[in-house]
Structures are given as C-alpha cells and as structure tokens.
Structure 1
Amino acid sequence: MQAEAAGTDAGRAEARPLIVLDKVVKRYGTHTVLSGIDLEVHAGNVMAIIGPSGSGKSTLLRCINYLEPPSSGTIMLDGIRLEAGRATSRKDLALLRRSVGMVFQSFNLFPHMSVLRNVSLAQERVAGRSRKEADERSMQLLSRVGLADKAHQYPLRCSGGQQQRVAIARALALDPKVMLFDEPTSSLDPELGLEVLAVMRELADDGMTMIVVTHEMRFAENVSDTVLVMADGIIVEQGPSAEVMRNPRQERTKRFLRAVNDRT
C-alpha cells in the first residue's frame, strides 16, 4: 500500500504544471494590456501563442519572467511564487530569471564581444562558472545550434539567422526550465528564419518546455502541442494545436486565421 501511495504521489507531482498564471493583469496607466490571464503550462509542453498585433502576446511573455511586473495577479514557476503588489525578494526574482530563458525579436548581442563571450559571460556572472567551464559549455551549445565555427567571430560578421541562433545558445547556457520566444523569426527573411525554426524544432523534440509567440502558422500547427489565441488582452481560444488551427471554435479565431491565410 505504501509503494502504491508513493507511486500515486509521484504521478501527482508529475502532473503539476510548471508554470501557473492566476488572474494576471497588466496596465499602463489607464490602458489595460492583459485582462485577467489564467494559464497553465506543463513541463515538456510547447505552447504557441498567436493573435493579431496589439493583443498582449509579447507583454504576456515579459510578465512571465518579470521583465514587466504584472499590475495584479500571481505567477508561479516551479515552486517560485510572485504576487503582484507584494514585495518580491531578490532571491525569488533571481531564481525566476535563472529558470527562464528568453529570446527576443532583436538579437541583443554585445557587438564588441565574440560569439563565444556573448554565450559565456552570463554563465560566469550569474551561474558562477569559471571562464574555462563557461567556455566549454558555450562550445557545446554553439555546436548544438550549428555555430561552433563562429565562436571567435563578432556578431556583425554573422547573418541574422546565425545571430538569432547565438541568442538561443546564450539563453540555454544557464540551463533554464522554460524557454520564451518572442517572434524570433520576425526580423529575418524566410530562408534565415528556417534556420532558427529548425533549432527550435530540435529543442521541442528534446523535451524543452517552450512558450513561443509566433506568426509562423506552420510552426504553431506542426511543432507546438498547444495553441493559445489572444485578442484584446484576453485568451479567446486554447487547445490542441491541430484542432485550433484547423477547426477553431471561436469566431475571433476564425477571423484571424482567415486574415493570415489571405496574406499567404
């Protein structure tokens, strides 16, 4: 009986979501960008967030890692609980940031540092690794994204797709529990964008928990497990990717997907 109970407890632990958002609101003055977002993301899940411009998608990502503290509501990530309106300890905030890797639309690489230093620097300053340890880890990650040969070049000598892959390697360097991607291919031409999407697909195949704000509808349907549709600061629809993309239930989702399909 004890073994059975232990097995049940383990199953419950595995079923517990990695990320929970409870009634998250974000306001800028009198303008409400997010209106009471409730969300759960389980470990290993890949969630694609789609929707029209200005719907709050990027703001939602920035609230999850507290780059933009919510106006109200609670964010929990793997036992770390941050509640808007209450003082956030530096320890909890550091744990949250260490647990979340983020890749932006712009690459945000240091132009005066080599690709290798761009990936190693945070490991030394945040994770406390020696330069040798950090460089070894960086080379592993650069090999993973196909850029080991670019380690000693400067970012400006790399293509846009290569720079974004460096940014992904940098975000992975602190061994995050979840990766956030904010339209990582939006500033790239289609061919370079495919390079980045291929890396993201490999991360998904390896079981990385990912939340991806994207305008790549094929990625949303074929790579993600769940699609979340946002409009006007709320979640209008959420479900299994193929189901939402092929047979949306909500009229707002249908209208958005029609507009996307008409452009392509």
Structure 2
Amino acid sequence: MNERPVIQLEKISKSYGTFKVLSDVDLSVAAGEVLAIIGSSGSGKSTLLRCINYLEPPDTGIVTVGDTRLDGEIPPTRQQLYALRKNIGMVFQSFNLFPHMSVLRNVSLAQERTLGRSRKEADAISLDFLNRVGLAEKAHEYPARCSGGQQQRIAIARALALGPNVMLFDEPTSALDPELGLEVLAVMRELAESGMTMIVVTHEMSFAGNVSDHVMFMADGKVVEYGNSKEVLGNPQTPRAKRFLRAVNER
C-alpha cells in the first residue's frame, strides 16, 4: 500500500523514573486497519495507546496522526494537541460517564465543548450514535440504570460522535463479565466492518484473531512480534510469544 499511514510511531520511548515502560517502539497503521495489541500486564500496551493521543507524552520519538506530527522532545502547543486529538477517539477500561447526567447529556456534552455544536445539533447526533450502538431507548436514563456493557457502548457512542478518524480501545471488556463483553465486541466488530481505523489493546484472543488485520505482541516495553493476526496467534515465532499464547490458551 502506497498511501501514507494514518498512524506512524517512530522510536517511541517512555520512562517513569528509572523504570522504562516503552523502548523504541515503531508502528504503522493504515487507513481502515484494525490492529490488536496483546501481551502480559505491565508490558507497556496501555501506555503506548496513551502516548498516541498524548495523555502520556513520550519522552522521545515521533507520533504522527494524520497531518499532525509531534516530537516527544519538543513540548506540543495547544493547537497541536487539539489537531491531534480531534482525529482520535478513545475508550478506556472504565466507562468514565458522568453519573449525574443522562445518557444523552453524556454523549452530547463533549461535542458542545470540543466542537462547538449547539445542544440541539449535538443531541440529534448523539441519538444517531446511540441508535448505532443499540441504546437509543436509554437516552434519558442515567448511567446507573444501565448495565456495564451498556455503559461501555455509551462510551463508544460518545467517542464516535466527535467524528474521529481513529479509535483507540484500552481493554474495553476487561471490567465486564463475558456476556456483557460480547455486546461491546459486537459493536467493535461493526465498527471494523465499516472501515474505522482501530487500535485495540485486548485479552480477547478471538476478537484479535477474527476481527483484527494485524497483531502486535509486546513484552517489557518492546515489540516482540508483529504480523498477520492468524499467523501470529496460530504460529508465533518467538519463545516469549509462544509462552504467552500457550498460557492464554490453557487457562
């Protein structure tokens, strides 16, 4: 593919004190591609996602998303951060919904604050995305009246309503029981089929194998293995990846 990647990471490193969380990570993600990042807890997966949208600025390396290029050694301007983040939607393990606001208000507020939409316009767009994730009937409920799976789908609708070109998912089903997790994975599968560019940190190996185009296995802050999803998951080449996948499959 000759098109410029939507996301390009070059030599991304990040440390907390003397502990190196990421070490010279390179990554390229094309438009419409779904990348699954797997690995043990503490391998740097979530930190890498947070470096992409500069929730955790890298210490060194280059982050390029669309037309925005940031050098980890040069503090970004407010305009650069806005340009970066308007292209990126992120969904976390926790739902981060405002408990005192209705579902509709949770989805609309960010559009009004970030994009300057009127409340009427934002509400119309919110209802459209709530319908897309199968929750239009919950618009006037409060988050506490929704299951965990429903709350995560609301969080996805909120992110999508901002019109991102890229979606980042940080273990979006880890706080859910398996049945509720399936609801969220179904929405993510639909997103992938619609052509959304996605990076998903996950322990859901079936999702990684059946939905993602590529899998990246991380350990100790480094990329240990990367390739076609079915090849990496079905025939890992490194001892570290083999050990991890054997442990996952034997659970």
TM-score normalised over the length of structure 1: 0.94
| Counterpart mapping for 1:12-161 below 5 A | 12=2, 15-161=3-149
Q: Does 1:201 align with 2:189?
A: yes
Displacement, 1:87?
Answer: 2.6
Q: What is the distance in 2 between the residues matched to 1:49 and 1:190?
A: 20
| Partner of residue 181, structure 1 | 169
Q: CA deviation at 1:55?
A: 0.2
What percent identity do the matched residue pairs reach?
70
Distance 1:22 1:191 in 2: 38
3-state DSSP of counterpart to 1:43 = coil
Tell me the CA shift for residue 180 of structure 1.
Answer: 0.3
Matches within 5 A, 1:239-254: 239-254=227-242
Residue of 209, 232, 248 corresponding to 2:220: 232
Matched with 2:178 is 190
Q: Which has the higher Rg, Structure 1 or Structure 2?
A: 1
Query: Residues of 2 paired with 1:58 and 1:89: CA distance?
Result: 24
Query: 2: distance between equivalents of 1:203 and 1:239?
Result: 21
Unmatched tracts of structure 2, length 5 or more: none
Residue 206 (structure 2) pairs with residue 218 (structure 1):
yes
Q: What amino acid is the match of 2:72? A: A
Task: Report the 3-state secondary structure (helix = DSSP H, G, I; strand = E; otherwise coil) of the residue aligned with 1:126.
Answer: helix
**Larger fraction in helix:** 1
3-state SS, counterpart of residue 244 of structure 2: helix
Equivalences, count: 251
Q: Within 2, Cα distance between the matches of 1:91 and 1:211?
A: 24
Query: Which whole-Å CA distance do the structure 1 matches of 2:83 and 2:112 have between them?
Result: 16
Deviates more, 1:28-37 or 1:78-87: 78-87
Displacement of 1:79 in angstroms is 1.3
* TM-superposition CA deviations, 1:63-96 (whole Å, max 9, x none): 0000000011110011101101213111110111
Q: Secondary structure at the match of 2:192?
A: helix
Partner residue in 2 for 1:7 = none
Q: Where does structure 1 lack aligned partners over 5 or more consecutive residues?
A: 1-10
Q: Distance in 2 between matches of 1:95 and 1:80?
A: 7
In 2, the alpha carbon distance for the partners of 1:34 and 1:235 equals 9
Q: Distance in 2 between matches of 1:163 and 1:98?
A: 23
Please state how far the C-alpha of 1:262 moved relative to its aligned partner. 1.1
The equivalent residue for 2:157 is 169
Q: Which runs of 4+ in 1 moved over 6 A?
A: none
